Structure 1
Amino acid sequence: MKKRPGQGTTDGIIESKRQRTGYISHKELTRLRKIADGHQEKTVEVTEASFDPWDEHKDIEEATQDPRFSFLEKAKKTTIPSSWKQKPISLAASGKDIPAVKKPEGGYSYNPVFTDYEERLTTEGEKELAAEKKRLAAIELEQKKREAANRSAAEAEAAEARAYMSEWEEDSAWEGFESGAEDVRLNAKRPERKTQAQRNRIKRRNDEERKAKMAAHNKQKEEQAAQIKKLAKALAEKEKARSLTVVEDDSSEGDDMELRRRKLGKISLPERDLELVLPDELQESLRLLKPEGNLLKDRYRNMLVRGKVESRRPISFAKKAKRKATEKWTHKDFMLH
């Protein structure tokens, strides 16, 4: 008996066959050699597009119809959409156009200067602190609302229980059960006819109340008009100051850090990714830098803030039209002649 199994001896398991991935056929090798020598099989000629959808002369030529084919319907002229002539609305707070690819500042470098990096780190830290405070305030407000709702529900239940007990006590008592109920005498004052002096006094009082109410209403309207004038003046001054600020600002590019309040469409814009590296993650070489982020998401958000497209929400389960399959019975409708 052999101590070691031979090469022909197997364990009964057949290994899977794997194709050679680096194999190149002789035909492909010949073609690559011809291309390397400069002998290409086919020469691709680049031709300009011959069809222009906005060519006016071509539309005029097509509009002239041959009298032999006057019975045919005339071809309609291709019209340019009116929205193509409108400039896209930038979503920047300053109203300036946001560039497609903005030149990064010093704080965005992989090996930035300490002053630039410290300034940007402080700014982003303050933003995160403000967002965290806002989140905690919203949680606290929601908790207060929940506690107030529970408290009001408990008070309503207690009031309902008290009302039920009072109704039960009233139903259990009957007339003459309480002591001294027979001796109670109603000393109700009989209604008397008013004199003319009393009527005049009541009329004068009503007139004075109506005049006082009218004077208060007029005073309130005057105060509102004065407040409107004051707000209009303040708004005009603010608009003037903003226009002067825009004129003084010589930079032609907008910033997508501060966006205007009104968005395009009903769906809000996606949040911008935090492009910041922590101090312990800074690298001296660009080769050691870990790639992060999503280029597709960044390009899509850039198109949104530039006003090229509106924000959309992906519909996972779209509603489909309900279709009902029926069988036609017309083939069974026959007549005997």
Structure 2
Amino acid sequence: MVSRQESIGVGRIKKRVSKKNKKSWRKYTDIKDVDSFLDEKRLEERLGTPFADRQDHELFQIDKEADEGQKADLVVRLKKPQKPIKCFAILEERSAVPDPIKKRNRVRTPEERKHPLAKKIKADRKEQGILKKKEVIALRNRALAKAKKNNKPKKGEFNADLWEDTDNGNTVDLDVEWLTPTTKYHMLKHTGKLKKKMPDKFLTKPYEIPAVESPHPGMSYNPSYGDHQNLLQEVANKELILIKEEKHLKRVTSKMFSRVTEDEKESMRMKEMSEGLPEAGEDKLKQNLDEGSETDSDYRAINPPAKNIKKTLKKRRNMKEAKKEQIQHKESRSEKKKNSDIYRLKLLNQELEAKDKKLAKLREKRERVKAIKEKEPKQLSKRKFEPLDLEFNLGEDLKGNLRSVKPEGNILEDRYKSFQRRNIIEPTIKQRTRRAKVKRYERKSHKMGWETKGY
């Protein structure tokens, strides 16, 4: 049971603590009332004059007007633009506390730093019309910019023909024979009248393949006999090529190796593993060879010994004369060749003409190959483009009308292959999800001892 004194708080034993140093004083001294008093003082200081020093009319007001109804929306909308923007409220002063530093050093603007006398001289010069060079340039540039802005078509105005080919000052008449193309380009570039050349790729298509190709006449639901036979012949030729490739792969892979029995395989393995091991009779032969090599161990040179014999003067003179004759013979041969080439001018012309014809044929061949390659799909990925197989119907499947015709092919697949053929998308295949190889094992804690190993 709680006594009355304990409930009131009288007679409660006060906790005794040590306050012999500053740390203990800070820890065990209750200053909440002081902090709350100081917070109130700071709040009054921020709001302005303290509430105790304010007059009654500053704190209270007498309501003498009747309550008005809801204001019209028009009045509210008209008053909104007059109110300050809320995003600038953070920039305004929210405290009535004066700045403790009365005088602050503010960076003056260049106009404020100017001397009054210099300002007066500048104003007098402007009144007289005397301007500096940079001011004249600035005025001219400002006028040009204003004229350019005025000449710019306004939004919604269509006064000029976009497709009209006009060269208003884009070119200069520089058709002079002694001017090189580099000089003309330099002059046009630095006079501001250079006409830019449009790249060729803007005027050419990236591919020459039509979006929808005309099918083979034999694919019709009611084709002629010749067209249908030509289509079947093309399909048969492609199938024969595939069969030939398959036979070639079998011939160079599986059929290249002959089948052997188990005994032959074992004997071949034993022979391969025993390769290099000494056999019976080889030890004696090796021993005899070693004995013969020991007896004949003296070193004998194959070539005769070289002698250092000094060349005589006669031999040196003969060598010089032989070298001189060799040089003269070489020069005479070159002179004879030059003289003979003069009489071979017709033959040389024929050789040059033949070479030019050969180069022209090669050039034509390259152009033909290039024209063929432009109509073929390009290599856009690691996989080459594979066209669809020809769609065909056998003779017994042809009905002669669209209602009972047997459908072949897929429109979606055909359009997809058309995109690949026209280099719009890269050739791809269906990607299969790779499943990770999970290694299964049995924990020791789950083993009972009598299970059979399943691996």
Normalising by the residue count of structure 2, what TM-score does the alignment of the two structures yield? 0.32
Q: Which has the higher contact order (CA 8 A, sep 6+)?
A: 1
Normalising by the residue count of structure 1, what TM-score does the alignment of the two structures yield? 0.42
Larger Rg: 2
